[in-house]
Structure 1
C-alpha cells in the first residue's frame, strides 16, 4: 500500500496534474481538450496524463481516433483514508501552550498565585 500511496502523492505533487484532475471532475475529456488550457506541448500533457494513469487516478481509452481521459475517483480512497487518520488529533492551541511555557520557564509564580 505504501508504494501505491507514494505513486498517488507523487502524481498529485504537480500543479498541472492537479488542474487536470479538477478539469476531469466535470466530465470525460479528449486529450486535446485537456491540453487546450495549458501552455505546453501535447507531448508534455501526454506525459502528465501517463503519470496520472500509472497512479490509477485517471483511465484513458481510445474512441475512434480520439483518446479520452476519465477520472477514477476510487484511486484517491486509500490516500484519503490515510490522510483522515491525522484528523483524529486535535489542533494545538498555541496561545494556551505559550502561557503554559511562560509559567513553567519563569522563576516567579503567575499573578494571583500565592504559593
Structure 2
C-alpha cells in the first residue's frame, strides 16, 4: 500500500508515518523503482500495533524500547512482558483518574436536575 492509503487506513498523517520510519519504529518499508514507499502487511501490522500503543498513551521511547526488544527475538519475552505490564498499570491509573473525574461531573450535573427553575 502506498503511504496515502496507509495514512487513511490508520488515521495517521504521512509525516507521522515517515517519522516512525525515521526513528526506527517501522523498518524495511519496500520502495518501488521510483522510491515510493509500498507498505507491506508486516509494516501495516507494526503500524496497527503502534497506533494501539499510542492510544494507550505509551511513549515513543517506550515503543522504541519494546520494538527493539521484539526484534531481538524470543529471549526478550520477559522484558517485553514487563514493559507491557508497566504500561497497562499506567493506563489503568489514567482510566481510574478519568473515571473519578467523570463521576464528579455526573454528580455536579445531577445537582442541576434537582434544582427548581
Q: Same fold (TM over 0.5)?
A: no
- TM-score, normalised on structure 2? 0.31
Q: 1 or 2 for the larger relative contact order (CA 8 Å, sep ≥6)? A: 1
- TM-score, normalised on structure 1? 0.31
Instruction: Select the structure that is richer in strand.
Output: 1
Instruction: Select the structure that is richer in helix.
Output: 2
